[in-house]
Structure 1
Amino acid sequence: MPTLPPDPLMPPKPPMPWPALAAIATIVLLLATAFAWAAGWIGRDRLTAPRLVDAIEGGKPYAGFRRAHSKGVCVAGYFEPSTQAAALSRAQVFSQPRTAVQGRLSIGGADPYALDAQARVRSLALLLKTENGQEWRMAMNSFPFFPVSTPAGFHKQLVASRPDPATGKPDPAKMAAFLAEHPEAKRFQAWAKSAPWSSSWANTAYNGVNAFRFVDAAGRERFVRWSMEPQAPFEPLSEAERQQANPDYLREDLQARLQQGPLRWNLVIVEAAPGDPVDDPSQAWPENRPRHIAGVLVLKTSQPQATGQCRDVNYDPTVVPDGIALSSDPILAARAATYSVSFNRRERETARNQAPPATAVTAQEAAR
């Protein structure tokens, strides 16, 4: 299309003054700087999700595996709500008769080849998907409360706990400095030293230590925490049994128990009272708070994590359905961010063929 000649009756448009150009350039620079800051590309002293995942890796990432709770197995089953559950929350999982569940049982730590009997923490992650497509994802652990109250505190704990290359153990001076700054972590240390170890994934209680908000049909809200309490009787694991256990004894025990029939846990909802800390997962609520059995989790099968359905799932605990809402707990937000970074790293490694093939991982597990 030919260019039209300038209209002689219209005066030429004056050039944009330099102050305006400078203002636009400043806005663009500010936006670019804000984006880079949020991505962690600048401000290296600021705690970002990638820095937190780096600390979890401890300088030794295992390509293709989750950065935390790296060793585990996939599980599947269903959830059935109790008759009182619908009064607590309008979430459909509490009103439809049964909801399909697929999840993951795991141990704490970043080593996918760790010895089961040496892992203090056991974990259960779940994905419940209702008939209308809503999802509820949970990530629960065997400890009753979180070690610290802030993401920054957790990062400092990871750094202080890193083994000294000379001794193979954490530096006592660094750990003492951490505890002086975060005395709430002493409660977690006391639990780790005194609480009996469970002998099985099946007889472990798993706690969602973060607070959420349940919203009922009338719009009433209440702060809650939840736990999966096993119907299998608790059996402690002695020190002698820990030393003699096979490397994968938790998986072996799970398979043996599932051959005898499904495994069950009660979903227990605990209500907060006014004044209870709902934004600090390092503080437990008093034992006398109202408790409701909201249903039963039933697990029927297990599969290797290298080939099972749980392999490519990010069990982000902030994915909740209508009727369940998040609290302002900063640890909850940090978990979502770090889970996302971990998921993206391992998916990228798998796409680049940096991770071991699933068949190789499965063969290695079978050979143990």
Structure 2
Amino acid sequence: MPSPDTPTSSAPPRPLGRWALIALAVAGLAAGFGYVAGPLDPQRLTPQRLVDNLQNNGGLHPGYRRNHAKGVCVIGRFDSSGNAAAYSRAGLFAAGASTPLVGRFALPGGNPYAPDGGVPIRSFALRLTQADGQQWRTGMNNMPVFPVATPQAFFEQLQAGAPDPATGKPNPDKQKAFFAAHPETAAFRAWAKDSKPSASYATESYYGLNAFYFIDADGKRNAVRWRVAPDNGAAAAPLSAQDQDVLANELNQRLTQGPLRWRLLATLAAPGDPTNDATKTWPADRAEIDAGSVVIERAQAQDAGECRDINYDPLILPDGIAASDDPLLPARSAAYADSYRRRTAEQAQAGGRPPQETRR
């Protein structure tokens, strides 16, 4: 079965060929969306059915994540500036706090052997553990918006990206129809049109995409979105489509020169800014908090690294941070759990490691 990062049609018009490629990558981006309360048919949209669709679209690689299968673990800390403490009572934001983290850089899709240059999307997940044991887990991507706003729309995108049995590739007519029916994808498509696959995880900004709430010591809630901005030198040149294993090697090389850093920036919403639609950015003039520095000190191979068995569930939050009304959040959480159960069961059967398979 083809990798989600392989070209999706032999001879479509050039723009549609690119969208077929990007759509399959995005089909792995959120690791699927599970059933959530609302007007959705539970027989159609469940965590199991969504993850089944991801496996069908991207190929099954037992023991690996159904999304972001290719990645690298990183170890570091978050050093708080104290600037966010007035907005969130979470201990990790206290002035002078230094919170250990286990992170993971990754590519979208279910193929752990995918070429690094196949698509421009990169992800950065973090698990920060406070001294009191509470955790903050977050998954971010290097695009400023998500293609769709609802679990139902994402499900339809998965269906449109399913490989045709006759060709092994998505049907370009179905994908064209999907985009025509979902004009909310325009902002993401505009980003993807001009984005090139970076040769470095270290030079990318990563966006949380979904809205959350910071809750202060008095219980006041402020809607926020966060991102991390790099402070690691010049951006690397774009990769070619088939460059393999460049990103992990380049990351390790950078780390021999010292830790890597990103500023954690939280944007405060104004009244009327949408908290339930990840396809829409907030105006650029919104107030922003420089909450501190994400510091990465070393990398580990993902098969045995500390990140391997972490489920980066976006709803695992410490006191002082709460989920918004974005419907993608509970849906992501449900499907993350299903994917986690599958891969850990497969690892257990293989003696604790991802089963060996032939590189394709």
TM-score under structure 1 length normalisation? 0.82
Aligned twin of 2:29: none
Out of 306, 327, 331, which is 1:330 matched to?
Answer: 327
RMSD: 2.2
For 1:57 and 1:186, how far apart are their aligned partners in 2? 26
CA 1:187–1:167: 2 relative to 1, 3 Å: farther
> Aligned partner of 2:52: which letter?
D
Contact 2:118–2:197 under 8 Å retained in 1:
no
Aligned twin of 1:161: 161
CA 1:161–1:358: 2 relative to 1, 3 Å: closer
For 1:190 and 1:165, how far apart are their aligned partners in 2? 30
Out of 45, 48, 52, which is 1:47 matched to?
Answer: 45
Contact 1:196–1:236 under 8 Å retained in 2:
no
> Aligned partner of 2:82: which letter?
T
CA 1:210–1:234: 2 relative to 1, 3 Å: farther
CA 1:279–1:234: 2 relative to 1, 3 Å: farther
3-state SS of paired residue (1:170):
coil
3-state SS of paired residue (1:46):
coil
Runs ≥4 residues deviating over 2 A: 43-46, 162-170, 195-199, 355-361
Q: Give the superposition deviation at 1:360.
A: 5.5
Contact 1:109–1:119 under 8 Å retained in 2:
no
> Aligned partner of 2:161: which letter?
S
For 1:333 and 1:139, how far apart are their aligned partners in 2? 14
For 1:163 and 1:183, how far apart are their aligned partners in 2? 23
Aligned twin of 1:118: 118
Q: Give the superposition deviation at 1:357.
A: 4.0
User: Larger helix proportion, structure 1 or 2?
Assistant: 1
The reply on whether 1:306 has 2:306 as its aligned counterpart is no
The reply on whether 1:248 has 2:245 as its aligned counterpart is yes
> Unpaired segments of 5 or more residues in structure 1?
1-36
Aligned pairs for 1:124-135 (under 5 A) are 124-135=124-135
Q: Which deviates the most, 188-197 or 306-315?
A: 188-197
> Aligned partner of 1:127: which letter?
R
For 1:233 and 1:159, how far apart are their aligned partners in 2? 40
How many residues align structurally? 320
TM-score under structure 2 length normalisation? 0.84
3-state SS of paired residue (2:54):
helix
Aligned twin of 1:79: 78
Contact 1:90–1:323 under 8 Å retained in 2:
yes
Q: Which deviates the most, 114-123 or 296-305?
A: 114-123
The reply on whether 1:137 has 2:137 as its aligned counterpart is yes
Aligned pairs for 1:96-245 (under 5 A) are 97-235=97-235, 237-238=237-238, 241-243=239-241, 245=243
Q: Which has the larger radius of gyration?
A: 1
Contact 1:80–1:295 under 8 Å retained in 2:
yes
Aligned twin of 2:349: 352
Contact 2:63–2:354 under 8 Å retained in 1:
no
Q: Quick one: percent identity of the two aligned structures? A: 46
Contact 2:83–2:291 under 8 Å retained in 1:
yes
Contact 1:307–1:358 under 8 Å retained in 2:
no
Aligned pairs for 1:253-292 (under 5 A) are 253-292=250-289
Contact 2:62–2:346 under 8 Å retained in 1:
yes
Contact 1:198–1:234 under 8 Å retained in 2:
no
For 1:307 and 1:321, how far apart are their aligned partners in 2? 27
The reply on whether 1:340 has 2:344 as its aligned counterpart is no
For 1:94 and 1:188, how far apart are their aligned partners in 2? 31
For 2:356 and 2:343, how far apart are their aligned partners in 1? 16
For 1:224 and 1:296, how far apart are their aligned partners in 2? 18
Aligned twin of 2:24: none
> Aligned partner of 1:107: which letter?
L
Aligned twin of 2:69: 70
Q: Give the superposition deviation at 1:198.
A: 2.6
> Aligned partner of 1:325: which letter?
A
> Unpaired segments of 5 or more residues in structure 2?
1-34
For 2:349 and 2:242, how far apart are their aligned partners in 1? 39
Contact 1:318–1:336 under 8 Å retained in 2:
yes
> Aligned partner of 2:315: which letter?
T
